[in-house]
Amino acid sequence: MKVLLIGNGGREHALAWKLAASPRVTALYVAPGNPGTAQVAENVPISAMDFPKIEKFIRENGIEFVVIGPEDPLAAGLADRIAAMKVKVFGPSKEAAQIEADKWFAKELMRQQAIPTAEARTFTDAGAADEYIRVKDEPMVVKASGLAKGKGVIVCPTSAEALAAVDQIMRQKVHGAAGARVVIEELLTGPECSILAFVDRKNIYVMESAQDHKPVNDGDTGPMTGGMGAYSPTPIVTDAIMREIERDVLVPIVDGLTRDGIDYKGVLYAGLMLTSHSVRVLEFNCRFGDPETQPLMMRLQSDLLEVMLAVVDGKLDKVELKWDPRPALSVVAASGGYPGDYKTGLPITGIADADSMRDVKVFQAGTRMEGKQVVTDGGRVLAVTALGDTIADAQKRAYQAIEKIHFEGMHYRKDIGKRAIG
């Protein structure tokens, strides 16, 4: 089967690496890809948002299956356009992708389905948002309602910080059109976890649990990022909690979409907080998480292509996923200054040395080739991922591997997985 994967991040490198292992894949292309995906597939110099060129490539190369990695093309309707070509596509429709692309749509759906989440209000007028913050005068979270690359969430312990967040998102427009509407929520406390599930409209297959580390610095301090590391599984998600998540979150949200006439096919990501009262939903995403995908793909022993085809064909109930019982942990190496301004084009050394270690894989994200040299090309540059007999063992191996990699200004957290080990 000829497969085209859309995207160029660490998530896509991990998916390409896993898809390439399928005996059914006869040709694998990645558009646009990165130097990491080029190790296992043929990169195609087409932007993930250049739909006409993608459609042309599918037609001219006899592509039989398309996997869409990032949220932007999903939210813009790429899955719909490919399905209209009578080509199988893994990823939700534009209507279904609203679950991530419009945070207020997701909030309203959660309210209708009585899904536990933070109390929230939404505003399109900055002045009205300011007034609400002053009246409430309590810790809160301010979110850009649209897609902001995982960086549109600001935790605000004080009203002054919340007012500054509204100014940044709505007046300064740091996230562009994504900040035309803000969602202001109560600030919840507790450990977080990420639960990803395959959904084929009527069936839900929950993957192994994971935990992401969003803030840029150790101790969960500093601004929010797209993710600085992750591990799977997380000990905080017991069998009882997983049953609660399925019953109170996943089943009702998919049911709510179906009742609204929206067929959801693809991966559904639930970002959750385990408060003292119950599981609460922080966000939904319409695609694989990044960097959660990296440890999940390290642990997945089943054929990823077969699972994805089962989703598209509505046969998810026929699938049984097999997982490596060992935990996996991923540490992200970021450009100095991320998530703010940072340099690109900086030479990277040591990737091959780290990759050669047992049970270690370096998934490239913000990289590109300059001649024969891999250089930085983004905020999150790569994710060093390792398996281990315990989380502590996986952590030790991942940090031993990342110490072999160097580029100017390289920054990574030193405490990924610390809470689980503690």
Which H, E and C letters describe 392-414, residue by residue? HHHHHHHHHHHCCCECCCCECCC
Distance in angstroms (rounded) separating the CA atoms of residues 386 and 400: 10
Q: What was the pLDDT predicted at 71?
A: 96
At CA 225, angle to CA 224 and CA 227, rounded to 5?
Answer: 120
Q: What is the mean pLDDT of each run of 10 residues along the chain (422 residues)?
A: 98 98 98 98 98 98 98 97 98 97 94 94 95 95 88 92 95 93 93 96 96 95 94 96 97 96 97 92 96 98 98 97 98 97 98 98 98 97 98 98 98 96 82
318, 348, 368: which is the final residue of a domain? 318
Closest CA to 93 of 261, 214, 317, 274: 261
Residues 295 and 213 in one domain: yes
DSSP secondary structure letter of residue 28 = E
Residue 117 lies in a domain: no
CATH of the domain at 33: 3.40.50.20
Q: Amino acid identity, residue 174?
A: V
Clarify whether residues 239 and 286 are in a common domain. Answer: yes
Q: Token pair of 415, please?
A: 């405490």
* Phi and psi torsions of 393, nearest 5°: -65, -45
Is 29 found in the same domain as 77?
Answer: yes
* Residue 102 in domain: no
Kindly list the distances between the CA atom of residue 27 and the CA atoms of 2, 14, 47, in Å, as whole numbers in the listed order: 5, 17, 20
Amino acid code (one letter) for 417? G
Helix ranges (H only) for 179-303 are: 239-245, 251-259, 293-299
Among the listed residues 82, 79, 75, the one whose alpha carbon sits nearest the alpha carbon of residue 101: 75
pTM assigned to the model: 0.94
Q: Assess contact for 303 and 24: CB atoms under 8 A.
A: yes
**Number of domains present in the structure of the chain:** 4
Same domain, 313 and 197: yes
- CATH number of residue 359's parent domain: 3.90.600.10
Asked if residue 409 and residue 337 are part of one domain, the reply reads yes
Q: What is the DSSP string of 121-178?
A: EEES-HHHHHHHHHHH-S-EEEEESS--TT--EEEESSHHHHHHHHIIIIIS-TTGGG
Cα dihedral sign for 222, 227, 230, 233? positive
The confidence score (pLDDT) of residue 373 equals 98
pLDDT of residue 415: 97
Q: Rounded to whole angstroms, how far apart are CA atoms 96 and 127?
A: 31
Angle at 170 between CA 166 and CA 174, to 5 degrees: 100
CATH, residue 289: 3.30.470.20
Same domain, 210 and 277: yes
Pair 158, 233 in one domain: no
CATH number, domain with residue 147: 3.30.1490.20
How does DSSP classify residue 278? S
Domain boundary among 38, 69, 91: 91
Q: Is the dihedral of CA 144, 146, 149, 150 positive or negative?
A: positive
Domain boundary among 145, 180, 215: 180
Asked whether residue 294 is assigned to any structural domain, the reply reads: yes
pLDDT in tens, 358-413: 999 999 999 999 999 999 999 999 999 999 999 999 999 999 999 999 999 999 99
Residue at 116 is within a domain: no
**pLDDT for the residue 422:** 75
Is the domain of 227 the same as that of 258?
yes
Do both 376 and 413 map to the same domain?
yes
pLDDT of residue 149: 78
Is residue 105 in a domain? no
Asked whether residue 230 falls in the same domain as residue 257, the answer is yes
Give pLDDT, residue 131.
Answer: 96
Question: Is residue 99 a part of any domain in this protein?
Answer: no
> Do 208 and 261 belong to one domain?
yes
For helices 103-112 and 251-259, angle between their N-to-C axes, nearest 10 degrees? 100
Q: Which residues contact 213 (CB under 8 A, 6 or more apart)?
A: 220, 227, 228, 229, 230, 413, 415, 416
114 in a domain, yes or no?
A: no
Q: Please state, in angstroms and as integers, the Cα–Cα distance from residue 52 to each residue in 57, 58, 82, 198, 245, following that order.
A: 9, 10, 10, 28, 39
Domain housing 241: 192-318
Q: What is the dihedral of CA 284, 285, 288, 292, to 10 degrees?
A: -50
Cα-based distances in Å from 259 to 77, 109, 232, 252: 21, 11, 33, 10
Residues 202 and 298 both lie in one domain = yes
Domain annotation covers residue 185: no
